[in-house]
Amino acid sequence: MIRDLHNKLISKEITAVQLAEEYFARIQKKDKDIFAYLSLAKKSALDQAKKVDEKIGKGEEIGMLEGIPGAIKDNMCMAETRTTASSKILDNYIAPYDAAAVKNLKDAGAVILGKTNMDEFAMGSSTESSAYGPTKNPIDKERVPGGSSGGSAAAVAGDMAVWALGSDTGGSIRQPAAFCGVVGLKPTYGRVSRYGLISMASSLDQIGPIAKTVEDAAIVLSEISGHDVMDATSAKSSGKRYENYLTGEIKGLKIGLVREYIESLKAEAKELMEKAVEDFKKMGAEIKEVELAYAKYSLPVYYIIMPCEVSSNLARFDGIKYGMRADNYQDTGIDFETEDRSLLETYLDSRRYGFGTEVKKRIMLGTYALSSGYYDAYYLRAQKVRTLIKKDFEKAFDEVDLILAPTTPTPAFRIGEKTEDPLEMYLSDIFTVTANIAGIPAISIPCGTIKEGGKDLPFGLQLMAKWFDEENLLRAAHAYETYSR
């Protein structure tokens, strides 16, 4: 899609300003019902589009992403725009700088339309925990778009952005991509700088693209990846343009299959996965069963490591440095005029009224697990099991190039369906969270639909690859996408 639009721009069939205006018009028309966007950056978007048109007018060459409109998840800083992470505690936060990924996209000439809704601080799988209200799935508005990057996935699926950035800590790019019928890529841990991404769980967080096609995701990845001195965990740049590896050819590629994953699915989902396996065979891939003995512990490992890191990362929201201070906030019911509140009370009140329930819960879980006497039993043990899971993958990748799995157990669930039982919500990440624990790259691509309540709901297929092997991952995803169309 990006390539087509790029060609239309250079052949002067359309202008970048027309393209941006068209997307703003669609947002105005459709987003009342979907609520993918929290805020729009109309002026800077149109200014950037004008610059691109001037370049084209002067006969200068433009990059692939130049003038192409997209969206940024609201947990990434974009200078001089409101960046809330969908939390009340950051309601008035105007980012003083660009996140590295945002800066890279700006340097590439991309047009940024606005910031997208998400679960508060990326904690959730449905975008229902946003302090500003839930995003609806464009395929079926009674259903969730997934989460936490639900706004980004809905914007792309609803044709309100060509591409979008999401962040993925336990499946937050891939699960919403699967629920909305689009492509979502979580790169290898460290591939994309996390500078300017509002931290959730630092050893798991990774920024990646959501797009309509695998090629589009590859183009965005080429622009955002690379080393950054501001993120010590970012990896050396590969210097690769990932879109150049999409040959359509996967003959001889070895793809591993975890039988239990497919067996655990309901009939319709199982059928789709089995068909995908047959398709890969027909394309010339070699399918081999692999065993991941410790992968079943990924979700409990995640629910220890993640809250521990959350409790530490979110300690910075104290009502002192930036963000909401309860004393300045009307809705608390406290009379700050007459009551003299201590510093401790400012902390307690700001965090009480600034954070939502899920965020508080995860901070407290982490605080408990890291508190005196519990560290060895929880965090340290989880990090050891993490080693065993990593070894599982090292062993599997000795035998195969990629691993094929479903992205989620089911298609999109209904709004409100899983908010009562938090554990049930957590289980929707069961197939995605493993890649974060192991740090490997993984992609979700559409693999058919399942009929539920009269609607054809998208179902996603997931491919996982070795550390830093985004080339093979994208090549196989692209080949499947072409073949299955």
Nearer to other proteins, 226 or 439 (CB): 439
Smallest gap from Cβ 122 to other proteins, in A, equals: 18
- Which residue, chain included where needed, has tokens 């809330």? 84
Q: Is 298 noted as a catalytic residue in this protein?
A: no
Smallest gap from Cβ 399 to other proteins, in A, equals: 21
Contact 309, 382 (CB under 8 A): no
Catalytic position from the list 86, 129, 148, 298 = 148
Catalytic position from the list 172, 193, 350, 428 = 172
User: Mutual orientation of helices 42-57 and 2-10 as an angle, nearest 10°?
Assistant: 50
Closest CA to 427 of 155, 160, 126: 126
Q: Is 172 noted as a catalytic residue in this protein?
A: yes
Smallest gap from Cβ 22 to other proteins, in A, equals: 32
Smallest gap from Cβ 383 to other proteins, in A, equals: 3
Contact 74, 86 (CB under 8 A): yes
Q: How far is it, in rounded angstroms, from Cα 353 to Cα 248?
A: 52
Residues ≥6 apart with Cβ < 8 Å to 418: 125, 126, 424, 425, 428
Smallest gap from Cβ 431 to other proteins, in A, equals: 17
Nearer to other proteins, 40 or 304 (CB): 304
Contact 370, 379 (CB under 8 A): yes
One-letter amino acid at 337 equals E
One-letter amino acid at 246 equals L
Nearer to other proteins, 341 or 455 (CB): 341
Nearer to other proteins, 286 or 345 (CB): 345
Q: How far is it, in rounded angstroms, from Cα 220 to Cα 116?
A: 17
Cα 371 to chain centroid, rounded: 30
Q: How far is it, in rounded angstroms, from Cα 245 to Cα 165?
A: 21
Nearer to other proteins, 330 or 342 (CB): 342
Nearer to other proteins, 4 or 335 (CB): 335
Contact 400, 351 (CB under 8 A): no
Smallest gap from Cβ 149 to other proteins, in A, equals: 21
Q: Is the dihedral of CA 428, 431, 436, 438 positive or negative?
A: positive
Smallest gap from Cβ 374 to other proteins, in A, equals: 10
Pairing of strands 111-116, 69-73: parallel
DSSP secondary structure code for residue 110 in this structure: -
Nearer to other proteins, 216 or 349 (CB): 349
Smallest gap from Cβ 143 to other proteins, in A, equals: 25
Catalytic position from the list 73, 88, 136, 212 = 73
Which DSSP string corresponds to 284-309? TPEEEE---TTGGGHHHHHHHHHHHH
Q: To the nearest 10°, report the CA torsion of 56, 58, 61, 62.
A: -30
> 287: which strand partners?
255
Residue 360: strand, helix, or coil: helix
Cα 133 to chain centroid, rounded: 19
Nearer to other proteins, 91 or 452 (CB): 91
Residue 271 burial class via C-beta count within 10 angstroms: exposed 0-12, middle 13-18, buried 19 and up: middle
What positions carry a catalytic annotation?
Answer: 73, 148, 172
